[in-house]
């Protein structure tokens, strides 16, 4: 069975964005939003876990009308949006994401999503672990001061 990506549309809401947003400013905005949202009741998002040899798939089901701040991943991975529509605050600004859409996500990125239509978002990771606690430790940074993220940033800068 083959799948074809019919199209991808991205739009930027210029009135709400300053032209000079840096990745650090965007990161801070998403972090601030996550801190604010922690003060409110949390939506229980169903998650499905699948394991293949050396591969971990994590699928999150998000309801329309929710605001979701994603996890900070330590390693590059593939993201697959198989259903839904959301406005996503990314490291590149605000984009409109609609299924079907597949993209490569770099390490050290955190996104904020406003879900407009029920969404199914799957991440695909390299891992030999099947224990969820070990997976979380390997794949997810608690914050941007995680040593793995700092080391990767230094490598990118040639330090």
Can you give the pTM of this predicted structure?
0.79
* Sheet strands (E) in the chain: 47-52, 55-62, 67-69, 72-73, 77-90, 93-98, 101-105, 112-126, 140-141
- Does 98 map to a domain? yes
- Does 4 map to a domain? no
- Does 1 map to a domain? no
Closest CA to 49 of 139, 143, 117, 149: 139
Provide, rounded to the nearest whole percent, the portion of the chain with pLDDT above 70.
85
- Does 35 map to a domain? yes
Q: Are 59 and 48 in contact (CB under 8 A)?
A: yes
Provide the pLDDT for residue 30. 83
The CA distance from 18 to 21, in Å, is: 6
- What CATH number did the domain enclosing 144 receive? 2.60.120.10
Is the per-residue pLDDT at 9 higher than 60?
no
Task: Tell me phi and psi for residue 7, to 5 degrees.
Answer: -170, 165
3 state SS of 67 = strand
- Does 7 map to a domain? no
Q: Are 30 and 69 in contact (CB under 8 A)?
A: yes
Q: How many domains in the chain?
A: 1
From 9-13, 65-69, 121-125, 146-150, the region with the lowest mean pLDDT: 9-13
- Please, how many CA atoms are within 13 Å of residue 71, restricted to the half-sphere of its CB? 21
- Does 119 map to a domain? yes
Q: How confident is the model at residue 1 (pLDDT cuts 50, 70, 90)?
A: low
- Domain span holding position 148: 14-156
* Token pair in block for residue 139: 């794949």
- Does 32 map to a domain? yes
Q: Are 125 and 58 in contact (CB under 8 A)?
A: yes
- Does 47 map to a domain? yes
Task: Tell me phi and psi for residue 149, to 5 degrees.
Answer: -70, -40
pLDDT in tens, 101-129: 999 999 988 999 999 999 999 999 999 99
pLDDT in tens, 38-86: 888 888 899 999 999 999 999 999 999 999 999 999 999 999 999 999 9
């Amino acid at each position: 069975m083959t799948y074809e990506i019919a199209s991808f549309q991205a739009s930027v809401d210029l009135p709400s964005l300053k032209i000079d947003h840096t990745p650090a400013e965007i990161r801070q905005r998403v972090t601030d939003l996550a801190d604010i949202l922690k003060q409110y009741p949390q939506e229980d998002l169903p998650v499905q876990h699948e394991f293949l040899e050396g591969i971990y798939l994590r699928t999150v089901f998000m309801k329309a009308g929710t605001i979701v701040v994603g996890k900070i991943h330590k390693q590059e991975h593939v993201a697959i949006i198989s259903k839904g529509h959301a406005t996503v605050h990314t490291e590149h600004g605000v984009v409109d994401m609609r299924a079907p859409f597949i993209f490569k996500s770099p390490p050290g990125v955190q996104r904020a999503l406003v879900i407009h239509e029920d969404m199914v978002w799957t991440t695909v990771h390299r891992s030999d672990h099947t224990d969820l606690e070990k997976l979380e430790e390997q794949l997810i940074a608690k914050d941007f001061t995680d040593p793995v993220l700092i080391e990767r940033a230094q490598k990118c800068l040639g330090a």
